[in-house]
Copies of this chain bind each other. A is one copy, B any other.
Amino acid sequence: METLNPRILDVEYAVRGPIVIRAAEIEKQIKGGNHSFPFDRVIRANIGDCHASGNQVPVTYIRQFLAGCTYPPLMDSPDFPSDIKQKVERLLSVCGGKSLGAYTESQGLIAVREDIATYIQERDGYPADTSDIYLCNGASDGIKTVIKLLMNNDATKPSGIMIPVPQYPLYSATLSEYGAHQIGYYLDEDNNWALDIDELERAINAAKDRCTPRGIVIINPGNPTGQVLSRENIENVVRFAHKHRLFILADEVYQENVYLPGSKFFSFKKALMDLGAPFNQMEMASFHSASKGWHGECGSRGGYYELINIDKDVRVQVNKLISASLCSAAWGQAMMGAIINPPKEGEPSYELYKKERLDIVNRLKQKAELVSKLFNSVEGVKCNAVMGAMYAFPRIELPEKVINHAKSKNMAPDAFYCFQLLEKTGICVVPGSGFKQKPGTHHFRTTILPPVDQMADMVEKFRTFHMEFLREWK
């Protein structure tokens, strides 16, 4: 331990932290025949993992495409849809030896990058260049690469990156690993987690003595907070970033996950371009992932980022850096390609695809609405509307006695609460402190992924637990 890289000690990642490790232990014990728990199964609401939720099967079109890429003789079957066959052949035609088993270009297969460019152009109304697009092993991999570029620490002043609070813990973990300074800006919980520009100014000014601010992360739709930023809000963030010469990291992995009627996703790229000069020359990266959306192919670790307005010498360096890991997984690239370029009306695989999509999307919408309603029905719990993404981040009022007790055990009060919740009900959620939160407030993050009936059941179990907990610790 005394020679271990000391920065690793500072890394924290609550989404797979001690509570989740304990949940896995309990699951193993139950599977092994231990009936001593006051529940018969663990409800996994800790991670945005659609397929694992037991509520969602993979999309036929996506898996047929990937199976065809994997083992092309399959396509000789007359049952194999002709549109998918064409797509497979196009993809394999740009692979070395027409095999996904060859290394790809370091930026990713050109056919996939072409499809991503088309998707972005259709989304924003502005062209995208395939040489700006980088496939990666999940958005996490891309985010770590881009943050790495911005690290220019010196002995007296590390690089600083602005991150929302609450945030997704990949950011705090990565900044710890790189020895960078986290400049937290608070989202406004009383205003449905809105992003306030005055708060950005406060945060950057407070941090300037301790670091050199280099970038700002925005997660939109929000994780763990589920808000969807308005176009005006995004434009003000762009102006702020321009004023302070910050590189924009737009974490837009939930761009397809918008539920609240009237809410709409606007990309940071579109905001930059709409604003015109000088904003449309700002450097930024936008991240997307195969793991989220409604298809939820997390295990593929497919993802990409678009790097916009990067200096040409810097681009040479980026391309060199990523080439040292050769390329991202070709299967993940193929997955990202399948997701970004779905069947079109009239194509043989369209009708089934449309039906499967509607089923999943409707369920997600229903659950997004249900979850905040259910939690708000519990005394002492306040839950903002889930406008997008896959999570609710309810606030819980904890008695002073709990807070003191947890502190005496060197635990965050909400971590103590979540451990108790797990041990008594089998519900596994992530403590708000793992995402950071305003001092003195307490939360947890739950996904909206369990099936509707399980979710109602989960909230009832939660209600009983919460009431007893408050009684016990009053």
Stretch touching chain B among A133-141, A263-271, A381-389: A133-141
Flag if A101 contacts B51 (CB, 8 Å).
Answer: yes
Residues of B within 8 A of A169 (CB): 324
Q: Per-residue CB proximity of A164-191 to B under 8 Å, as 1/0? A: 0000011001100100000000000000
State the CA gap A248–B157 with chains docked (Å): 34
Interface segment, one of A54-62, A391-399, A452-460:
A54-62
- Residues of B within 8 Å of A16, CB to CB, are 106, 323-324, 326
Give the number of residues in A that approach B within 8 Å (Cβ atoms): 81
A321 is an interface residue with CB less than 8 A from chain B: yes
Cβ distance A89 to chain B, nearest Cβ, rounded Å: 16
A4 nearest CB neighbor, chain B only: B314
B138-A97 in contact (CB<8A):
no
A467 proximal to B (CB < 8 A): no
* A129-155 with Cβ < 8 A to chain B: 137-138, 140-141, 144, 148-152, 155
Q: Report A245 CB to chain B, min CB distance, Å.
A: 9
Q: Which of A196-204, A228-236, A295-303, A419-427 contacts B (4 or more CB under 8 A)?
A: A295-303
Contacts of A170 in B (CB 8 A): 324
Total copies of this chain within the assembly: 2
How distant is A219 from chain B, measured CB to nearest CB, in Å? 16
| Chain B residue nearest to A147 in the complex (CB) | B5
Contact A103 B324 (CB under 8 A): no
Are B56 and A67 touching (Cβ within 8 A)? Answer: no
Least distance between A175 CB and chain B CB atoms (Å): 11
Segment 253-295 of A: residues with Cβ below 8 Å from B:
291
Do the beta carbons of B70 and A3 come within 8 Å of each other? no
Asked whether A101 lies within 8 Å of B323 as measured between CB atoms, the reply is no
Q: Are B58 and A99 in contact (CB under 8 A)?
A: yes
Among the stretches A119-127, A327-335, A341-349, the one at the interface with B is A327-335
Quick check: A101 and B299 within 8 Å, CB to CB? yes
Q: Measured between alpha carbons, how far is A177 from B170 in the docked complex, in Å? A: 20
- Distance A214 CA – B140 CA, assembled complex (angstroms): 29
Give per-residue flags for A364-390: 1 if the beta carbon is below 8 A from chain B beta carbons, else 0: 000000000000000000000000000
Q: Give the residues in chain B near A155, CB-CB below 8 Å.
A: 155
**Interface flag for A472 (CB, 8 Å):** no
Asked if A406 is an interface residue, CB under 8 A from chain B, the answer is no
Contact between B311 and A1 (Cβ–Cβ < 8 Å)? yes
User: Which residues of chain B come closer than 8 Å to A410, judged between CB atoms?
Assistant: none
User: A66 at interface (Cβ–Cβ under 8 A)?
Assistant: yes
